[in-house]
Structure 1
Amino acid sequence: MTPVHLAPTGTAGPELLQLELSDAPSPAVTDITLHPDDPLGAMPDAAHLPGSRGEHLLQRAFGSVDRATRFYRDQVLDHLNDEMRGFVTRMDMAFIGTADAAGECDVSFRAGPRGFVQVLGERWLAYPEYRGNGVMASLGNISENAHVAMLLLDFVDDLIGLHVNGRARIVDDAELRAVHPDLPTEFDRGRTPERWVVLEVVEAYIHCRKHIPRLVPVDRTRDWGTDDRRSKGGDFFGVRSARTAAR
């Protein structure tokens, strides 16, 4: 399908424009336009910084180089330190970001008992893949593009998050268990992983707490592994009923 490029549909009101233009434009914005072949200009240290060339460019454009450099220096690691590894073992949910070979993205939610994401060392994590809806969107993306982003958030106790970015591969349960025999053998509700995603850590850094809401866990019955439509949410968003009506 050919992408549709939408034109702007209106103009911001004067109060919004005043808010957006309240800060003087950074001189760096003009400077960028003077270097079309090398928009970063003379930034020899950029190659040694974490993150992408694009984020380094925008830091310069929007005047946040100093703040970003402090964050890189103080918070970003290429491995998991002791505190990060301990945090991972306490988490019972994770958000997994993947993209296919064309860059089309997907974010999936994964959950399990605390510690379901296994720490295999300071540079390695693994999370289990169970029987799902059969689409295998995340695994399909990983099979084409190994770059994966994981976000773990503690909504209950510490109100903090951990980003882990890296390269992943898909490993059968028996294959990983042969290398790591200490993997758990008893799983929540008797579910057994069909395979694992093993993530090699490239970047690990904090997600600040100031906008993380505090949540209170509530006991609920979970229908693990069911194909019952009602238990899985039914046609909550009305897609199936709309298509049926259109036939």
Structure 2
Amino acid sequence: MGQIGSAGERRLQSEYGTGDRAAKFYSDQMLDHLNPTMIEFVGRQEIAFIATADASGECDNSLRAGTPGFMHVIDSKTLAYPEYRGNGVMASLGNILENPHVGIILVDFVQDLIGLHVNGSARIVDDEVLRSEIADLPVDHSGGRIPERWVVVDVEEAYIHCRKHIPRMAPVPRHREWGTDDVKRKGGDYFDAKATPRHDSDGQVVEEPAPAELTQVIAPGFSVAPAGTSGN
């Protein structure tokens, strides 16, 4: 590896006197690839948090989930995760198109209470293209749905997230229908965004909230948008 850590990290390490501790972490815990233990860890995780930013640095963080193995390790320097049909916004993929840098964190909340950071450079590959190149690419990890495309990440940094503040969670039996356009199962307008007025920079209302009768309440905190609107 070349010099580890950003200029900002090193500036603050010097200012706050943490350089020795940081150097030990870099040398003991940070790799430029996934070692066998990391590969095994990735293979049994069901959720991942994906951080991206556009060309101007505007950030986004998104959740990806699936059955164990949905985050597929191609080799020690490369992993890939699937992208299915979603809300059509393409927030993460749009950022990657402008700025390939991504930060991924996977956390084991159940067994070992530990996390793994994977930072790298990403590219978007259509499913049929990647499937023709990677023989063991998972065929089905979401109830019969086929990914539209994959995000392939060239690993640049891989390192531990310590367990100090990771809460323990107990898994519960559940049946998951991975991927749906059903508004109720997706959570509806949980945060009541549709009925919230929009304001301009001067605080003036620029968009009136939707009439209450257009929102069908299905459970406390959940709602169904009327036909013809898009969900998340």
Counterpart contact for 1:235–1:241, Cα < 8 Å: no
Q: 1:43 matched to which residue of 2?
A: none
Q: 1:244 matched to which residue of 2?
A: 210
- Paired residue secondary structure (1:239): coil
* More helix by percentage: 1
Counterpart contact for 1:170–1:196, Cα < 8 Å: yes
Shift of 1:234: 1.1
1:63 to 17, 20, 26: 17
Q: Indicate yes or no: 2:94 matched with 1:135.
A: no
Count of paired positions: 200
Q: Which amino acid aligns with 1:210?
A: K
CA distance in 1, matches of 2:145, 2:169: 26
1:218 to 157, 166, 172: 172
Q: Indicate yes or no: 2:115 matched with 1:161.
A: yes
Q: Which amino acid aligns with 1:227?
A: D
Shift of 1:48: 4.5
Q: Deviations over 1:40-63 (max 9, x none)?
A: xxxxxxx94311010000000001
| Superposed counterparts of 1:43-58, under 5 Å | 48-58=2-12
Q: Which amino acid aligns with 1:114?
A: P
Counterpart contact for 1:129–1:193, Cα < 8 Å: yes
* More strand by percentage: 2
CA distance in 1, matches of 2:57, 2:27: 29
Counterpart contact for 1:59–1:65, Cα < 8 Å: yes
Counterpart contact for 2:102–2:121, Cα < 8 Å: yes
1:198 to 127, 132, 152: 152
> Is the deviation greater in 178-187 or in 120-129?
178-187
| Superposed counterparts of 1:145-184, under 5 Å | 145-184=99-138
Counterpart contact for 1:49–1:72, Cα < 8 Å: no
Q: Indicate yes or no: 2:188 matched with 1:234.
A: yes
CA distance in 1, matches of 2:69, 2:140: 13
2:62 to 108, 113, 116: 108
Counterpart contact for 1:78–1:202, Cα < 8 Å: yes
Report percent identity of matched pairs: 62
2:163 to 209, 232, 240: 209
Q: Select the structure of larger CA radius of gyration.
A: 1
Shift of 1:222: 3.0
Q: Which amino acid aligns with 1:244?
A: A
Q: Indicate yes or no: 2:75 matched with 1:121.
A: yes
- Paired residue secondary structure (1:133): coil
CA distance in 2, matches of 1:135, 1:221: 27
Coordinate RMSD, CA, aligned = 1.5
Shift of 1:210: 1.1
CA distance in 2, matches of 1:177, 1:99: 27
Q: 1:81 matched to which residue of 2?
A: 35
Q: Which amino acid aligns with 1:171?
A: V
Q: 2:206 matched to which residue of 1?
A: none
Runs of 4+ in 1 over 4 A off after TM superposition: none
- Paired residue secondary structure (1:221): coil
Q: Deviations over 1:163-219 (max 9, x none)?
A: 000000000011111110211223331111110000000100000001100001122
CA distance in 2, matches of 1:129, 1:183: 13
CA distance in 1, matches of 2:66, 2:139: 14
- Paired residue secondary structure (2:122): strand
Q: Which amino acid aligns with 1:221?
A: H
Shift of 1:245: 4.7
